[in-house]
Structure 1
């Protein structure tokens, strides 16, 4: 099976933080992680009002979901990070950015939204991963 490729084509901005294209060959297992908020196992919000704490917890929840599918953060080919307008982006993204970057960085989409489904949530993180299975 061909390897999963993450591309940063000439003519597009080159960043160590993200790639622009992911090519997943036939035979790879695709894993989709739905939006994760900063909630504990009982559904209670963690880190009310703190974008950094919420971002870290949401990413931890995404990691737990990935592990349930025998995948890791390094298998993620695309992250989507949504912040509620007014949230401290520097603190929130700063709390997770180092964990999103790898030798072959994933694709990253980040956006501000007016609200999320969990009352008080400041961030939601979803992911698409691909694993080469033998």
Structure 2
């Protein structure tokens, strides 16, 4: 199959919904594309120690780096992500958290994004958790 015949993931920002450069509203993943699910990533190092203590920007950057590592293990990159889920603990500075990762997530066809504030996360002291769904065209 030539590259012009490869299936592509479509990311849509339909008229009638807010047109944001930060996210799309709909993603269509065609048959023949490998879907990859990345579980929630916190700001922990390879030994399971929390990185960044009370700094949500440092934690966000590390959680995204961990998500990148997980994606790479499955043959994907940040640009293959169809949807991000970002959870911030109540009281965390969202501006600082997003500010630390926004440039890495920027795209002409941004993924879908679901963000929420939560009371707490599974890793004690964690301020952010990031998970992803990616689609890789072969």
Report the TM-score when normalising by structure 2. Answer: 0.95
- Following superposition, the deviation at residue 103 of structure 1 comes to 1.5
- Following superposition, the deviation at residue 65 of structure 1 comes to 0.2
Residue 131 of structure 2 corresponds to residue 129 of structure 1: no
- Residues 29-73 of structure 1 show CA distances to partners (whole Å, capped at 9, x for unaligned) of 000000000000000000000000000000000000000001000
**d(CA) in 2 for partners of 1:128, 1:4:** 12
- Following superposition, the deviation at residue 100 of structure 1 comes to 1.3
Other-structure match for 1:37 = 42
**d(CA) in 2 for partners of 1:12, 1:94:** 24
- Following superposition, the deviation at residue 98 of structure 1 comes to 1.4
Other-structure match for 2:16 = 11
- Which among 24, 34, 56 is matched to residue 29 of structure 2? 24
Q: How does 1:1-134 map to 2 (within 5 A)?
A: 1-133=6-138
> Aligned-pair RMSD on alpha carbons?
0.6
- Following superposition, the deviation at residue 2 of structure 1 comes to 2.7
Unaligned runs of 5+ residues in structure 2 are 1-5
**d(CA) in 1 for partners of 2:60, 2:22:** 17
**d(CA) in 1 for partners of 2:68, 2:12:** 23
Secondary structure of the structure 2 residue equivalent to 1:77:
strand
Between the two proteins, the alignment pairs up a number of residues equal to: 133
Report the TM-score when normalising by structure 1. Answer: 0.98
Secondary structure of the structure 1 residue equivalent to 2:104:
helix
**d(CA) in 1 for partners of 2:24, 2:109:** 8
